Structures are given as C-alpha cells and as structure tokens.
Amino acid sequence: MGGGKTIGDVVLDLQGISLSFGGVRALQDVTFDVREHEVRAIIGPNGAGKSSMLNVINGVYHPQQGTVSYLGAKRHDVNTHEAAVQGIARTFQNIALFKGMSVLDNIMTGRNLRMKSGLLAQAFRLPSAEREELEHREAVEQVIDFLEIQAHRKTPVGRLPYGLQKRVDLARALAMEPKLLLLDEPMAGMNVEEKQDMCRFILDVNDQFGTTIVLIEHDMGVVMDISDRVIVLDYGKKIGDGTPDEIRGNQAVIDAYLGVSH
Amino acid sequence: MSEGSLDTFPRLLLQHAAVRPQHPAIREKDLGIWQTWNWSQVSAEVRALACGLAELGFRRGDSLAIIGDNRPRLYWAMTAAQCLGGIPVPMYQDAVALELEYVLQDAGIRFAIVEDQEQVDKLIECRERSPGLEHILYDDPRGLRHYTQAFVGSLDAVQELGRGRNDSQPDFLDLEIAEGKPGDVAIMLYTSGTTGKPKGVCITHDALINAARGGCGFDKLTADDEILSYLPMAWVGDNLFSYAQSLMAGFTVNCPESGETVTTDMREIGPTYYFAPPRVFENLLTQVMIRIEDAGAIKRGMFHYFMDVARRCGAEVLDGKPVATGDRILYTLGNVLVYGPLRNVLGMSRVRVAYTAGAAIGPDLFRFYRSIGINLKQLYGSTETCAYVCLQQDGKIKLDTVGIPAPGVEVKIAESGEVLVKSGAMFKEYYKRPDATAETIDAQGYFHTGDAGFFDLDGQLKIIDRAKDVGKLANGAIYAPNYIENKLKFFSHIREAVAFGDRRDMVCAFINIDIGAVGNWAERRNIPYSGYTDLAQKPEVYALVRECVEKANAELALDPALCDSQVHRFLILHKELDPDDDELTRTRKVRRGFVAEKYNVLIDALYSGKASQFIETQVKFEDGRTGKVSAELRIEEVKTFPAATAKKAA
C-alpha cells in the first residue's frame, strides 16, 4: 500500500575501499553510499566480497585503503563495539545466538549496550536495576510482538527450527534499536513461506521504524522486490550500482552471474 | 433488576457493570502481560464503541461483520452492535476473500470490524465487488499507517468519536438499549456448509440466553469461573461459552496472545471451564506422548506404570464410584507423581468442567483425560440449536453417548432414525431463506438435525452418523462411513480418513497420516523423508498404517451389524486434506462428495484391484497462490476378520 517513506541523506559513505588478506584481494577500490531509510542490497557470486563488505562496515575488518564515513563523520579503525554503540546492528549468515538460552534472553542481549546499572546492582536486584530491566523487557516484548514469536519466548533457541532462529537473530539485532541494520543472507536456507515472512518483516522494519537496511542476499527475486538500490560485486570489484531495474539490464552483472564465453 | 428485564445481552452487561463493577470481565495478553478489564470498564468501552458506530451511521437492523482472532474489542463490538439493535455477523478469520464476499453480499453488510491488516486487505479486495461495504474498522493499527482510503478507520478513532457523542447525549445509548427486544436477532452465524452455499443462521437474544442460562445452571457456572477463548468467534460454541454464558454468569473470558501460544496461556490462566474439539485434545495427547518417549527411562517407566493404574480406576475415582483400596492408594500416589504434574503441564489443574463436541472422540483419548482426573464431558448441538441439545451429567459419563437432553430441550427420534429437537434455544430462521427454514423446522416446531441416532437404555442419546451419509453395502448391510472413519482416526498415526462403500461390495479408505506423530516415529527409526508426500509413500509407513487398519477391522468384526464394514483396501493420500482446497470445511469436517469427485481416479483404482495409481493435484497455499503435488500412490490390501474368529484375532 502507498509507501510513504522518503529516502533521506547519505548516512554511510564508503570511498575507495580496498581490503586484502595477504595475497587475497577481497575488496578492490569499492565506492558506494547508503542513504537514510533505504533498503540497500549487496549481491554478487560466491566469494565476491559481500560479507567482507559488511565486516568493513561494522568494524570487524579494517580496510587498508579508503575511507568510511558514518553519519557525516569519518571513521578510523572503529571496532565492533564502537560500531554497535553508534547504532549499527547486524545478523549473521550462520546464526550467532546462544543456543542454550531462551529466545527472550537472547533478544535481551541485544539491549546489553543500553543497560546502565552495574553488575552488583543487578546481582542484588536493586530497585534501580529492576526498573531498568522492566524497561528493557518492554522493549524486547515490542520486538517479540513485532516479529510474532510470542509462542517461543521461553524456548531455548537451539530447539527452534532454522527459519525461526533466523527470526530470533533479527529480533536480537532489532532490540538494539539500530539506525543501520546489516543483514547477512537473512533468507539463506529458508523455504518459500519463511522467505515471504522474512521479506515482510524486513519491509515492516524499514517502514515502521525507518531503519536503514543493508542486506546481502542470493535470492534475486527477493533482492529485486524489496531493495531500493542494489550494488553488485564480483571478485572484490564493484561492477554495478543502481535501482533493481537498472541492475537487471546491466550487461556486466548478467555476465558475472551467467558467465561469458571467452 | 428483576430476572425478566435481563432479556438482552446489552442489559446483561449493564447489570454486571452495576452488580460486580470490579470483577474481571475479560483479559488479554499483550506484550507478554495479561491486561484486565473489569465489568464496569467493559461497559464503558462498549458504550464508546456503540456511540461511535451510531455516529458513523450504524442503524437498528444493520449487520456488523466481525473478523479476527478472539480479541476483547471484537467481543465488545458484538455487544455494541446489539446495543444499537444491530446484528453482529462474526466470520472465520482464515476465510479467503471470496468466502467473505459471499457473506458480505448475502447479509448486506455496510460495517466491518476486523482485527488487523491481514483482514483489512482481504476486505479492501472484497469491496471492489461489494461496494455496499462502507466502513472497515480495525483493532490493531500495525502496518496500516499508509492506508489513506476514507473507508478504512481505527477503532480507537471510533471510540473517541463515541465518547464525544456520549458526552453530548448521555442518554442516547440507554434509550437505544431500552428499545431492544428479546425477540430481536442477536447474532447471525453462517454455517460452514458441508453442502451448498453457507446459510445465515439467525439467533435471537431469547434463544441464546435460554441456552446460556440452561448451561450455566446445569454445570453450576458462576462469576468466579475462567475460560480461555481461543476457538473461532464465528463458531456457535464460542458464542455460547465465551459470550452468552460469560454475560449470563459474569465469569472471566481470557483471550490468548496468539493462536500459537494457547498452550502457554492455558498454563498461565488455569481455566476452570474449558471447551475443545476432540482434535485439540488429540494434539495435546500426541505432544505429551512424544515428550514422554523422549524422556529418561525412569520417568517413562513411572508414567506408563501409573497410566496403567489410571486406566484401571481413574474414571471410577472421578465419578465417585467404589474402587479397591489398593488401587485407590496407587491412584493417590500417581496423582502426586504423574497426574497432577501432567494436568499442570496441560494447563488443566483447575478445570472443573471440560467439554468436547463437534466430532466423535476416541475412547482411548476420552478415557485418558478422564482417568487423570479431568472432568471431560461430551455435548451435542449445532449452530441452529445454539449448541445446546444434550449434555452429559457429572458422574454419568459414557464413551459413546452425548448425554441426556439439556434442561428445556425436547428430543425425539423420527421413524427414519433422524434426531429431532424442540426447545427455547432454537434459531429463528435462515436469513432470507424461508425455503431452507421450512425444510428443517417442521409444522410441529421440531428441528431436523440431519443426524442419525437413538436413545440407549439410560436415556442418553447416541449419535451414529449424519443421516444422509448412512448407506448400505451391496449385500444390504448398514454402512456408516463416519463410524468407520472415526475408528481409524482414533489411532494417533492417522489424522484423517475417508471411507467409501455405499452400494459397493466392500469398504475402502483414503488415509491422511499425522505428520507430527508419524514423522517422529520415522525419525526414531532413522527413516529419512523430505516432506509429507514422501513420508506418506514409504513402505514402512504403509505397514504401520496397515497395522492400525487391521486393528480397526478386528474391532468392527466384533459388532455383527458392522462386521461387513471392515476396510479391505486403502491408500495414503499424497497431500493433507485442507480447507483451502475445499476438501474440509472450516471446522475441519470432510466434504465427502467433493473429495469423492476430486479423487475419482483413486476410488476407481481402489475398487479395480490396481497396486498403485498416479495422481496430480493442484493445491492452494495460504497466500492464495497455487502449486501442484503429484505422486504414484501405493494401494494395499488389509486382512479382514470373519465375525466368529474376531475375538481370537483381536
């Protein structure tokens, strides 16, 4: 229905990013930006450098060359913690959750950065700590409600089916109330129905909270449907950047995906 | 207030608001926390809603569509409509747009109150062809921010509007309520219709209140009871139990967080009054059994030992009948170690009265719940009779009857064997269908139920099948398909069965396996499978099902009248029968004629002696898209038993 979202200014700007591991050049001079409120997809064949790109954005890797500007300020070698404090959350290709902990507790870890009371205050359940926990629990419940996982609140994550674990992973990231959400193959290994659900959730998050989203995905149908702009990587180089329609007609992209005869 | 003036639901609400204003009327779990509204708050909410609806132009005699899960505001919407002399028409929330459209047009609906975006989308689709729908009002605003259509609005806004109207015209609603008459239609329910188009069943305040008053008296329901309302609002049972009886006795209605959380919510609320169709009891038992099989050897051993004890004497203990001292001691011990904790896990620790109806319940299943101390009873009724015809009395429970006629109900059996009912809790008419009304209510005022049954020696009614389904085999023996199917469905591995045999020389059947139970069974045996279709065609699964069918045959052989109804050949269907494909009704009853027509090839194969048959079927997914499922189905023979040697073989 008539989406009323307005794409804002550039929130994340990457200029000439190059990253290599010894002789392996994972990213070569990649430049692109992400605008506020948009859904930005990164696609490319296996080994194209997509996950490396996300890792650069949230501070896991530090590129040898190039600059990353976030919210207008240049960043220098931020680590993952600082990135999280700045409002960058992410989900992982291979779900990174505490399998033995309940769904609720897992999502609660997403609130960790926002908790102020100290270890002692929490251990003795001081009134201030209790109050704080209630606040955070409420925020977590909002996310649980949003992603419709009420039935699994108390279930250990390890016992849930894969598709649901992915949803919990997203819930944990959302609990951070991020400005920028990085999703690494949110739909990998899902069946059609689960994919549809996930698409709906991603669009809802984008719509309802105005969260800017950068996602990596292999399912072209999904990418073309939900993204505002798409960047295509191949062997660490940017070979395409534009709206889904532009990408669809881009010869370099078609070649990268379908192969070319030499 | 005198008893006489409490003859419409709005008046009952006002009375509770006056007599027990602080008593909890309804709860809903929201964001993980139970929110409570007491009777005085409910009264205020309904007032605001009713005034708001009136402000939007809702008039006496108008119908109000209500679609969604059990939500407090949807229940209030029913009362609000009744306050204004309108008729609420609750509909099944999982119905597709086309089904809704039929009802919208048939009932000439201008106003709809729905739960969420999903329903709003469906109705917007309907509205293109049913422009008579003027207002779509939603409860949950999520995802609806960008809907700019003038005819879509929120209930919050309606209530705000209503509060303004109530401030400026404080006696408006009271005058409207005073105008209501007990003979007015209180609700219209569309029957799911195993045949033909759905019909709107008009039920008056008077009839529904009679049914509610009778039921409350029969089971001594008071304001202190609690019920969990999770069954579709469009179903007559929910109207009787969660709406009419709650407004009669003043007890608390609890709305679960979502359809999936019902088991958890049950545990938290601990209802004292509980209703579920046999299917739900069966699923619960299956879950329990799966978890017991996964438990350690000691726990498993303890469970089975004490369940044997319960099987021996549990039902008798519950009915207060004499039990041997040794067994009584063991049962008491078992109650501490197994039954009590089990009841707790099921959320049934406080259940005082539990009912099941809608389909036959398996003897093992029924006995299981009764033996662990849950007062599970059966009742009999239909939409037309406000689900109020027969009830089982405490302490006089039988497996295969539905109890005695309820207070104020007269039941008699026609020559044809059909059950006829006459009572004060009877529907008024089928909406705009005088022909259909005349067909079912005869000149003496008896309603023809369409069920075949008889009274046993204790005066309890026993239902055997739908009168129209009862047929004859080629050799003249009676053939009651439901009876055979129920026997098969009582096995936990079989979810659904469809029997064929009318005017044929033998009985054959389609089987749907229970993917949960059989899947678990297969995993335990390291049998890999990719999905339902694959699992259903495994030789091991066929052997498992054949064993069940043989057991059912052995039981049928014991009854001389039904000995010829033993199943000779069967096949396991490649897909689950589904209401979305019109194979089941929304209440999950098999549409026999439709299934027979759709799978004609398979029936021919069953009776032609083939060993397998290829079939391709179109399926509809929940989102309305379609796909295809195909498979080569195996057909297997089953051992049958001659009547004389049956006892030995069994």
Of B145, B258, B622, nearest to A151 by CB-CB distance is B258
Confidence of residue A14 (pLDDT cuts 50, 70, 90): very high
Confidence of residue A120 (pLDDT cuts 50, 70, 90): confident
Confidence of residue A254 (pLDDT cuts 50, 70, 90): confident
Contacts 24+ apart (CB under 8 A), A192-200: A193/B621, A193/B622, A194/A163, A194/A166, A195/A219, A195/A222, A196/B623, A197/A163, A197/A167, A198/A163, A198/A166, A198/A167, A198/A170, A199/A225, A199/A226
pLDDT at A46: 83
Determine the distance in angstroms separating the CA of B586 from the nearest CA of chain A, rounded to an integer. Answer: 22
What architecture (CATH level 2) is domain B471-649?
Answer: 2-Layer Sandwich (3.30)
Q: Which fold has domain B3-205+230-249?
A: Rossmann fold (3.40.50)
Confidence of residue A143 (pLDDT cuts 50, 70, 90): very high
Confidence of residue B193 (pLDDT cuts 50, 70, 90): low
Residues spanned by CATH 3.40.50.300 within chain A? 1-87+179-262
Query: Quick one: how many helices (H) and strands (E) in chain B?
Result: 24, 28
Q: What percent of chain B has pLDDT over 90?
A: 66
Could you identify the residue written with the tokens 């329903």?
B119
Q: What is the mean pLDDT of residues B620-625?
A: 72
pLDDT in tens, B445-475: 999 998 888 888 888 998 878 888 888 888 8
pLDDT at B36: 96
* Spatial separation of the C-alpha atoms in residues B99 and B121, rounded to whole Å: 14
- Give residue limits of the domains in chain B: 3-205+230-249, 471-649
C-beta separation of B613 from B601 below 8 A: yes
Q: What is the mean pLDDT of residues B305-321?
A: 90
Domain B471-649 in the same topology as domain B3-205+230-249: no
pLDDT in tens, A146-204: 998 999 999 999 989 888 999 999 999 999 999 999 999 988 888 888 888 899 899 98
pLDDT at B466: 80
What average pLDDT does chain B have?
A: 90
pLDDT at B646: 42
* Spatial separation of the C-alpha atoms in residues B318 and B119, rounded to whole Å: 44
Residue B57's CB: how many other CB atoms inside 10 A?
A: 11
Q: Given this structure, which CATH class describes domain A1-87+179-262?
A: alpha beta
Confidence of residue B557 (pLDDT cuts 50, 70, 90): confident
Q: What percent of chain A has pLDDT over 90?
A: 39
C-beta separation of B137 from B155 below 8 A: yes
* B146 close contact with A: CB closer than 8 A: yes
- Chain B hits for A146, CB-CB cut-off 8 Å, are 142
pLDDT at A262: 60
* B294 close contact with A: CB closer than 8 A: no
| Pairwise CB contact (< 8 Å): A150 & B258 | yes
A208, closest residue in chain B (CA to CA): B143
Determine the distance in angstroms separating the CA of B43 from the nearest CA of chain A, rounded to an integer. Answer: 28
pLDDT at A222: 86
Q: What is the mean pLDDT of residues A42-68?
A: 89
pLDDT at B364: 80
Could you identify the residue written with the tokens 């997203």?
A170
Q: What is the mean pLDDT of residues B148-168?
A: 95
Q: What is the side-by-side strand order in the sheet with B418-423?
A: B409-413, B418-423, B447-455, B461-466
ipTM of the complex: 0.73
